[in-house]
Structure 1
Amino acid sequence: MKLDLNDTTATDVNKALLQARRASGTPAVGMVLTMVVVIDEEFAYDAMRAAQQASQEHPSRTVVVIRRHPRSPRDRTHSRLDAEVRLAADAGPGETVVLRLYGEVRDHAQSVVLPLLLPDAPVVVWWPVDAPDKPAEDPLGALAQRRITDMDACPDPLGELEKRAAAYAPGDTDLAWTRLTLWRSALAAALDQEHAPVRSVAVEAEPGNPSAELLLRWLRARLEVSGEVRPSAGPAITAVRLETDRGDVSVVREDGPLATLTLPGQPPRSLALKIRPTSELIAEELRRLDADDMYEIALRGAGATSGSAADAGAV
């Protein structure tokens, strides 16, 4: 079911949601959170598709905020809100509200979004592109328990990483970090089998990959060793090599969904290590909504002093 509301208000959108829910027989009690997606029209389709796929695991109300660029001087001052309400087959197990903001209301999106949040449910804000420099201080970010950005979508990912480190607040996370989950699991499994001390680390990745820099900082902080990022042809991270007294521990993924784990004195073995789609990354982030202390350590290195991080495992 899809309803279009032109030149409307947040109150009318709420009424339309209630009427559509009654007409389709879809209850609201099954939804576990509100997800706010802040995006441009150019990237809206892909972002909404990823959010809808993630809602298969986490039924939610997805509020998509699209700030439209004014075409004339009058449009810059005339406030207008157009909305789409999507339920059932058009929104998966949850419901989707698409808000297009024109004029002055573009700068006050939080006043439109606030009445549409599910009561007594967590709020997650996701900026697929063009995230604010300080997500926690953004008016929409201030509504959320979890704020998701993506350095990899920025023109200067490594420069963006430094901004994220300087502005970090509990509840912040980034998909560049989420992309490392499988790598971290593989390395943890390798170190569980190889107990020789690690002397240095090397991460090989395509130039400018922020996940590689995060992984290097994480390993250096947790293993207390030196290391470097080495350029490769990609895609993304292609190898991690840990130098030990008994030989190298390496996880190498040159291409495809499989990687090769090599341990000193043991035959190589294959690991599943695919590049995951955005929908899987978002679904993972929605599984936990507390502060990500490990992400803070990866951003800031050994200088991070989060209480729970001090008790965390090495990898």
Structure 2
Amino acid sequence: MIIDLPSSNTSAVNRKLVELRESGGVFALGRVLTLVVVTDDGPLLERSIDAANEASREHPCRVIVLARGQRKASPRLDAQIRVGGDAGASEVIVLRGYGPLAAEEAGAGMVMPLLLPDAPVVAWWPGDAPASVADDPVGKLAQRRITDALAAKNPSKAFEQRRKNYADGDTDLTWTRLTNWRSQLAAAMDVPPWEAVTSAVVAGEAVSPSTELMAGWLAAELDVKVRRSPSETENGLSLVRLSRPSGPIELARPDGRTAKLTQPGQPERLIALARRAVSDCLAEELRRLDPDEVYRDALAGVSLVTRGRTPVKV
């Protein structure tokens, strides 16, 4: 069910929520957090709501979407409430601010009256995000702040902003997309022979924040020389090679979907390793509210990585 509240205010939205709760049952109870989604009013809006709805099936929450409209328009707030089948396991409140109400400061002011009491707040920027999300008015309300450098208009610039302005509580979905890669590499190293890694090579397309983070993670965790090289494919991260005295461990994904794991003394294995959906990554990040120190160390480790110019064949 979708209820439109044109030319509204947050008081009217709250009254409507109470009315829906009294007439339709306890759909607002049992929420574990408030997820604030900050985006522009455009094609990304509905995709972001769909991803939040999917993630809410694992983490029932109130979703507040700040859909920034035309900044040159007259001041106006158009609100929308979605419940039931249109809201997954959550309730979705869409706030479309125009004119001065499209500014970051105004967005934080509109969100505050709608936050669930005594519940954590997570902020998510599914597209472009401020240079320092921890200093953003909405970011200051949140315990966790989720960005996605890959979805930004300039992924390389966005990734450098995440590195430069990291604060405890920040994370990025380019890091979450590496969870399965890191799990496979850790499992491969946990079988005989138990040897130390002497060097590593990470290859991926030229603009790939996840490839940068993988190289930074290995440099920080293994304390060895890591070379980040371009690859001949354009599927994001495509290869990780860990050199050891008995031979390398290599995890290669040439087609962006299926990876091949090779290591000494073991048969080759094919592993499903397609790029994860945004909803899956978002659900994973909502499982924790504490700072992600490993992500922080991976960001710092990027500065330790050497650069190769010759494309690596995968």
TM-score normalised by the chain length of structure 1: 0.91
Whole-Å Cα distance in 1 between the matches of residues 203 and 303 of structure 2? Answer: 24
Aligned to 1:55: 56
Query: Alignment partner of 1:262: what SS?
Result: strand
Say if 2:56 and 2:90, in contact at 8 Å, map to a contact too: yes
1:64 maps to 2:62:
no
Whole-Å Cα distance in 1 between the matches of residues 159 and 85 of structure 2? Answer: 38
Whole-Å Cα distance in 1 between the matches of residues 21 and 255 of structure 2? Answer: 46
TM-score normalised by the chain length of structure 2: 0.91
Query: Alignment partner of 1:284: what SS?
Result: helix
Whole-Å Cα distance in 1 between the matches of residues 120 and 143 of structure 2? Answer: 6
Q: Give the % identical residues.
A: 47
CA displacement 1:15-68 (0-9 Å, x = unmatched): 111111222213322111100001112210111111111111111110010111
Aligned to 1:254: 254
Q: CA deviation at 1:256?
A: 5.4
Aligned to 1:265: 265
Whole-Å Cα distance in 2 between the matches of residues 282 and 86 of structure 1? Answer: 20
1:85 maps to 2:84:
no
Whole-Å Cα distance in 1 between the matches of residues 169 and 295 of structure 2? Answer: 10
Q: CA deviation at 1:303?
A: 8.8
> What letter matches 2:77 in structure 1?
L
Say if 2:213 and 2:302, in contact at 8 Å, map to a contact too: no
Cα distance change on mapping 1:104 and 1:85 into 2, 3 Å: same
Say if 2:128 and 2:153, in contact at 8 Å, map to a contact too: no
Query: Alignment partner of 1:53: what SS?
Result: helix
Query: Alignment partner of 1:109: what SS?
Result: helix
Greater shift after overlay, 256-265 or 190-199? 256-265
Aligned to 2:243: 243
Decide which of 112, 134, 148 is 1:150's aligned counterpart.
Answer: 148
Q: Show the 5 A alignment for 1:112-151.
A: 112-151=110-149
Gaps of 5+ in 1: 305-315
Whole-Å Cα distance in 2 between the matches of residues 80 and 162 of structure 1? Answer: 35
Say if 2:238 and 2:256, in contact at 8 Å, map to a contact too: no
Aligned to 1:99: 95
Whole-Å Cα distance in 1 between the matches of residues 152 and 71 of structure 2? Answer: 24
> What letter matches 1:189 in structure 2?
A
Aligned to 1:309: none
Whole-Å Cα distance in 1 between the matches of residues 194 and 70 of structure 2? Answer: 57
> What letter matches 2:159 in structure 1?
L
Q: Show the 5 A alignment for 1:170-249.
A: 170-193=168-191, 194-232=193-231, 233-249=233-249
Greater shift after overlay, 30-39 or 257-266? 257-266
Query: Alignment partner of 1:121: what SS?
Result: coil
Aligned to 1:291: 291
Q: CA deviation at 1:300?
A: 1.0
Say if 1:222 and 1:302, in contact at 8 Å, map to a contact too: no
Whole-Å Cα distance in 2 between the matches of residues 159 and 68 of structure 1? Answer: 24
Say if 1:129 and 1:149, in contact at 8 Å, map to a contact too: yes
Runs of 4+ residues deviating >4 angstroms = none
Whole-Å Cα distance in 2 between the matches of residues 122 and 18 of structure 1? Answer: 21
Q: How many residue pairs get matched?
A: 299
Query: Alignment partner of 1:291: what SS?
Result: coil
Say if 2:10 and 2:113, in contact at 8 Å, map to a contact too: yes
Whole-Å Cα distance in 1 between the matches of residues 23 and 147 of structure 2? Answer: 36
Q: CA deviation at 1:200?
A: 1.1
> What letter matches 1:234 in structure 2?
E
Greater shift after overlay, 24-33 or 176-185? 24-33
